[in-house]
Chain A
Amino acid sequence: MADTPSQPPSQPPILEATDLFKIYTMGNVEVNALRGVSLTVSPGEFVAVMGTSGSGKSTLMNILGCLDRPTRGTYHLVGREVSRLDRDDLADIRLQVLGFVFQSFNLLARTSALENVELPMIYAGVGGKERRLRAAKALERVGLAGRLDHTPNQLSGGQQQRVAIARAIVTEPRLILADEPTGNLDSRTSLEIMALFQELGRSGITIVLVTHEADIAAFTQRVILMRDGKIQSDRRQTPTDARAAVEAYEEAPE
């Protein structure tokens, strides 16, 4: 490990994973996807997890996202031990605490942006009127105020990812997990999405983002490098301003 980042002691960590192991059994072969990962993230941090494929970063994200449970180790999310909860309780945690952004957007086809954003609130039992109001607000926040009735195939990739981000933030989660959110986008759009994440980060939402592009990781405050199921390095950095990068991109001659 390189340098261990210091935490502001007054703030309890938003997530605290201790000595996580994940062992998959495939036939007779045991695959050690995680071999003792410990990680603490404070509220408001913008963290990038990097690593080659097979480094265990996806497994770590699945456990952090309460989609999977570790074989060994403990995981506290907003102070609650969640590594042994059952499927229903995990679903509740995901609903209340987490927001997900995926590489392939995962929007419902032939469904309007507004309705896509309403989706998590349906499972949270929010009434129809309030759902629409909050969904419209979330879409406004990601800069799609005029696109409420557009279906995914009427939107560009960047716009689709914005809808997905609106869907992630509409439940006011404490933590957003983004799995290669710029993987399917061109460089210009990637910068815009990163600028949006930075704005969300400034408003207090904690973001953990998986990427294998160093220039995307440069927009975050902290970069964790995974290798062979372990954390190889964990360093803090001063993030590059994505908004400025967008403007620079516009001025650059084609």
Chain B
Amino acid sequence: MNIFATLRIAVLALLRNKMRSFLTVLGIIIGVGAVIAMVAIGEGAKAEVQKTFDAMGTNMLVVRSGSSRTGGVRGGAGSQPTLTWDDVTAIRNEAGGVARVSPSLRQSAQILGDGQNWTSSVEGVATDYFAIRAWSLQHGGFFTEADVSSSAKVALLGGTVSDNLFGAGANAVGSVVRINNMPFEVVGVLARKGQSGMGQDSDDVVLIPVTTFASKIQGGLKKYLQGSIYVGATSSADTSLAQRQVEALLRARHRVRDGADDDFTVNNLAEIASARQEGTETMTRLLAGIALVSLLVGGIGIMNIMLVSVTERTREIGLRMAIGAKPGDIRLQFVIEAVVLSVIGGAFGVGLGVGAAEYMASQYGWATLVQPQIVVISLGFSAVVGIGFGLYPAHKASGLDPIQALRFE
């Protein structure tokens, strides 16, 4: 007895009870739809987090000075400058896992341009900083090594600063802005990054060469660097290695005795990012788990209907056996009926899930992401549900005694 003939028998049997078949399938549609929509929401959130950290810069370590200690009172991180300009050079030259290094000095300053003024954060950085923080350009170009070594008065404006001084969408390249009343030439406008992972506006910033910053904006200390050092590891896998190297190097350079606390801190953003990822991963699993329960309930619905169907069609089963169907043929027929129900439910469920995900994305602005593999997994799982829950009723049908079955009223 071939599989197509069995499939046809199964489909015909299901079509004889259209309403009931539809309601049974509905359970699976909702189950599969829920799995797809929930996982899409979870995956969307995960992708969103990933995007945020990508914008912040990947493979990134941030080194800050240690805390001051006056009597028993300890200041916060960076309150006591311990990092030196030489540390920057040493990290660049001596730590193997490090690809890029840039100091970052920051100060709030008033910026004037085109008759407008705007108070923003002015940051003195080296050229490596652009790659570490994954900045890209909207207009113009980055400032160069030559600009840094010559303490050139050039500036890169963040999107927010550019919009506030020159108007939204304007190309400010070539204009002059005054920072603390000193003229700087705008060489580029940075592409927007949006909010940082911590909710700050990443685009409310002006980047200038770190040498210019140290000489013109913040005189400060000669030897010590009053800010942080941004370190780019050679790869994301190497961030932990780079962190250990930087820590060892700085402890040696700062002559920190064994057992004593570091006089600096190193933040590994990759670790923070992966922790956040794990958070959204957990949420995805939770949502998928809840949705799977509804798929399971759908499967129980199939079993219920198949059991009713076996009882109701006892005479039909008896007849089929009398005219030569083997118990295995009967079992196969009922399993296939259950699988057809669940796979049809799965197919429509995929449609429902994808539709729901898109509706939520367009209506509520939720980030959703439908992964192709989750569609395949849901379909496969619904088929497994069909086989699993169809097997018992099918077994029951195949075990009927044809004489009793034919006599059944």
Contacts and interface: CB of A to CB of B under 8 A. Distances in A.
B316 interface: yes
Interface in B258-306: none
Contact of A124 (B316, B318, B319, B324): B324
Interface in A27-66: 62, 65
A123 B325 contact: yes
Contacts of B402: 67
B323 A167 contact: yes
Contacts of A96: 324
Interface in B380-409: 402-403, 406
A92 B324 contact: yes
Interface in A92-114: 92, 94-96, 99-100, 102, 106, 108-111
A108 B326 contact: no
Contact of B324 (A91, A108, A109): A91
Contact of A94 (B5, B12, B322, B329): B322
Interface string A2-32: 0000000000000000000000000000000
A123 B327 contact: no
A254 interface: no
B257 interface: no
B174 interface: no
Contacts, number: 64
Contacts of A128: 5
A88 B324 contact: no
Q: What's the interface size class on B, roughly?
A: 20 to 34
A121 B1 CA distance: 9
B326 A111 contact: no
Given A65-B322, A68-B403, A106-B315, A122 B327 contact: no
B9 interface: yes
B323 A95 contact: yes
Contacts of A102: 319, 406
A111 B327 CA distance: 22
Interface in B161-193: none
A65 B406 CA distance: 13
Nearest to A168: B323
Contacts of B325: 91, 123
A158 interface: no
A91 B401 CA distance: 12
A119 B320 contact: yes
A120 interface: yes
B200 interface: no
Contacts of A62: 403
B2 interface: yes
A125 B323 contact: no
Given A122-B9, A128-B5, A87 B326 contact: yes
Nearest to A59: B403
Interface string A163-187: 0000100010000000000000000
B406 A91 contact: no
A123 B316 contact: no
Contact of B323 (A68, A88, A94, A109): A94
Interface in B307-344: 315-316, 318-329
A91 B403 contact: no
A59 to B, nearest CB: 9
Interface of A: 62, 65, 67-68, 87-88, 91-92, 94-96, 99-100, 102, 106, 108-111, 115, 119-120, 122-125, 128, 167, 171
21 contacts: A67-B321, A88-B328, A91-B324, A91-B325, A92-B326, A94-B323, A96-B324, A100-B323, A102-B319, A102-B406, A106-B316, A106-B318, A106-B406, A111-B12, A119-B320, A122-B1, A122-B5, A123-B324, A124-B324, A167-B323, A171-B324
Interface of B: 1-2, 5, 9, 12, 16, 315-316, 318-329, 402-403, 406
Given A91-B325, A91-B326, A123-B324, 7 more contacts: A62-B403, A65-B322, A95-B323, A96-B324, A102-B406, A122-B1, A124-B1
